Structure 1
Amino acid sequence: MSEHRYSLAVIVGSTREGRFAPVVANWFARHAENHPDITVDVDVIDLGTIRPYELRYGSEEYASFAKRVDAADAFVVITPEYNHSFPAPLKHAIDLLQPQWRAKPVGFVSYGGISGGLRAVEQLRLVFAELHAVTVRETVSFAGAGSLFDDEGRLHDPAPATKAADALLKQLTWWAVSLREARTARPYGA
């Protein structure tokens, strides 16, 4: 698959003070960029920096966010699980746009307590389905994430997460390239 370069937006979904999301996002972004079997351009879109509640339609910041999402061939959403769901700023950021998500694949990397954030992922699948995006089956999930990473953001035992990330990237790459070709051949009608 290495001959098929594509653009991957990694969306950091938590905006909380003291959040753990950047550790997980940096690990995943590094893994994707250094993967031997795929060629991907990674754009990390950190909602903690973008502050989606402050984006106003017509502003430069809104246009920049929309352009970055539109330019992506695929997405990986990094989400914690807060009270059995995903963060409200993530939902707001998703809802700010519509056509930019259409006919593109979305993967998930989640973290949280015992569920590893999977309850948040299941709810996000419904949101992205409504936007005509395709969610991939494979996920990366970290239960008790804080204890799994060292102070440098490296996993103590990288094998399980690496295996899951490879499966996610393999599916995401197939969908990203296939849907980009389909969108080029004929516009998606929603």
Structure 2
Amino acid sequence: MSFGDPNNPYGQQPQGGQPGYGYPQQAPQGVPPQGGYAYPQQQAPMGYPAGPGGYAGMPMEMPGLMKTSRVLLFVVAGLQIAIGLIFGIMLAAAGDVASSAGAGDAGSVLAGLGFVIVIILFAFAALAIFLGAKFSKGGSGIRITTIVYSALFILSALGNFTNGTSSGALGGIIGLAIGGIILASMVTSSATTWFNRPRY
């Protein structure tokens, strides 16, 4: 084979910039390979859309309104626990006063009714904490239970307007706002998508 033989893998590259036969020529950095035996660069596969929030296999992010409702559930639970504790202490003090004054059965009936209310407050607080904790992994049952909870919370807020005091009206307005936000976030299409999303 001569020095200029095009079949010689060690021969001089022909003029004109075209790659010869033999070993593949390497292109300078930043220039994609032209011809030769190099394999084309493969792009990383993209996932298929899995609905609002991203691609298949990627976690969907909780909608902002639902994050707000979750925080409000925890705030409501804390308020219910605090009110229940204060109410329970007041009932215990009132029971001591009634027993020392000889009030009798009427005082014990009122104290028993008050403690039932305290237990109901603690139960609703526990339910709010449970619902808020299950927002990240719960299904449609959590969504429906949250709708029922927020409806009951709105009804109790409306009951604050019946006592006719300014503090009751203020509590009713705040309760209506909190319950309305929680209820509104649960009936949106993004909430339905979130709670019906596939879980891996």
TM-score bracket, shorter-length normalisation: under 0.3
**Alignment TM-score, normalising by the size of structure 1:** 0.25
**Structure ranking higher in helix proportion:** 2
**Alignment TM-score, normalising by the size of structure 2:** 0.24
Larger radius of gyration: 2
**Structure ranking higher in strand proportion:** 1
* Higher RCO (C-alpha 8 Å, min separation 6): 1
